[in-house]
């Protein structure tokens, strides 16, 4: 059987591929072109794609009888794959849940602290040689301890963020979710997203991407937030109406934002780059070596099970 790994992965992950499977590792770090994706479906039995490899319904339909029968996605998010179209073509889709939870929650906390305490702005000042020295009213930010956090989407990652906020910072936890969640500490569920936004000092997006959540956070949500509140996104870029976010920041409807993802990655609007009260990270959510190794090994475990004719561990 032949396996295509669409981006370079940590060596330990590639080494976990069982003997007997012929492996081709694509050397490019950029997403595949449409021609490359068509080749992946026609020339390989299994593929490990990742974010940016857009297996749309149209792309899948352009290969009428695909040799590929498994898309073992490297990552928990799979909104770049039309799962319905894949299944209709006889292709199983898997992902890597669990491996990314703590690392992504850590980045959420990083962004919360950096935005609230103006850390990015302060570092730029120091690097520019513009720091005049300490004084009592310099760069006063918001103290996170004891504040209220709102989490949009209370899955694995949302719950990990909630635990860090509650136990580490004594924050009260509010959330917007389709179903009630039972955590080992007090939380407040909101059935209306704008109600959740209005009640908190920091609003964090932690929902999966996809058609159901596209632009779930837009102008009405930002208008409901307190002018002193911050917005953080560690989910997918298109869950936020980026133009509405820019408008809210420019109008002073919210105090600032911390972003790890963007609506049209890797493009970041100049308006966001120009704002001192916005922290911008290059999609670092899972960017820790051991986490990426674990993700790779989980993807390979799906490949190995499929190759043996066994049920895959992480179907979507």
Residues annotated as part of the active site? 236, 265, 283
Rounded-to-integer distance, Cα 92 and Cα 82, Å: 11
197-233 per-residue burial string, b: 16 or more CB within 10 A, e: under 16: bbbbbbbbbbbbbeeebeebbbeebbbbbbeebbbbb
Rounded-to-integer distance, Cα 187 and Cα 207, Å: 18
Say if CB 235 and CB 207 are below 8 A apart. yes
CB neighbourhood size of 262 (10 A) = 20
Rounded-to-integer distance, Cα 171 and Cα 16, Å: 41
DSSP 207-270: ---STTTTT-BSHHHHHHS-TT-EEEE-S-GGGB-HHHHHHHHHTTSSSEEEES--TBTTB--H
Residue 230 β-bridge partners = 202, 256
Rounded-to-integer distance, Cα 205 and Cα 237, Å: 10
Residue 188 β-bridge partners = 174
Report helix, strand or coil for 13: helix
Q: Which of 257, 287, 260 is nearest to 271 (CA)?
A: 257
CB neighbourhood size of 29 (10 A) = 8
HSE-up of residue 166 (Cα within 13 Å, Cβ side): 18
């Amino acid at each position: 059987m032949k396996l295509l790994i669409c981006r370079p992965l940590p060596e330990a992950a590639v080494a976990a591929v069982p003997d007997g499977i012929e492996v081709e590792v694509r050397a490019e770090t950029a997403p595949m072109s449409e021609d490359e994706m068509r080749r992946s479906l026609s020339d390989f039995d299994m593929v490990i794609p990742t974010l940016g490899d857009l297996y749309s319904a149209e792309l899948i339909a352009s290969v009428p009888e695909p040799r590929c029968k498994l898309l073992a996605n490297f990552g928990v998010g799979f909104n770049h794959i039309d799962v319905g179209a894949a299944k209709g073509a006889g292709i199983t889709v898997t992902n890597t849940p669990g491996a990314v939870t703590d690392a992504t929650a850590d980045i959420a906390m990083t962004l919360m602290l950096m935005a609230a305490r103006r850390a990015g702005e302060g570092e730029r000042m120091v690097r520019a040689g513009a720091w005049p020295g300490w004084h009592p009213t310099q760069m006063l930010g918001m103290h996170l301890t004891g504040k209220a956090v709102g989490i949009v989407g209370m899955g694995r990652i949302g719950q990990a963020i909630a635990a860090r906020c509650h136990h580490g910072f004594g924050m009260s936890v509010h959330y917007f979710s389709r179903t009630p969640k039972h955590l080992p500490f007090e939380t407040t569920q909101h059935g209306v997203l704008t109600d959740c936004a209005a009640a908190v000092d920091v609003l964090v997006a932690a929902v999966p991407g996809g058609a159901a959540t596209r632009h779930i956070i837009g102008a009405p949500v930002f208008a409901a937030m307190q002018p002193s509140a911050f917005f953080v996104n560690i989910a997918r870029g298109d869950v936020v109406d980026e133009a509405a976010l820019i408008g809210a920041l420019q109008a002073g409807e919210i105090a600032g934002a911390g972003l790890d993802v963007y609506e049209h990655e890797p493009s970041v609007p100049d308006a966001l780059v120009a704002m001192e009260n916005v922290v911008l990270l290059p999609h670092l959510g899972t960017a820790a070596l051991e986490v990426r190794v674990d993700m790779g090994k989980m993807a390979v475990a799906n490949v190995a099970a499929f190759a043996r004719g066994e049920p895959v561990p992480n179907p979507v």
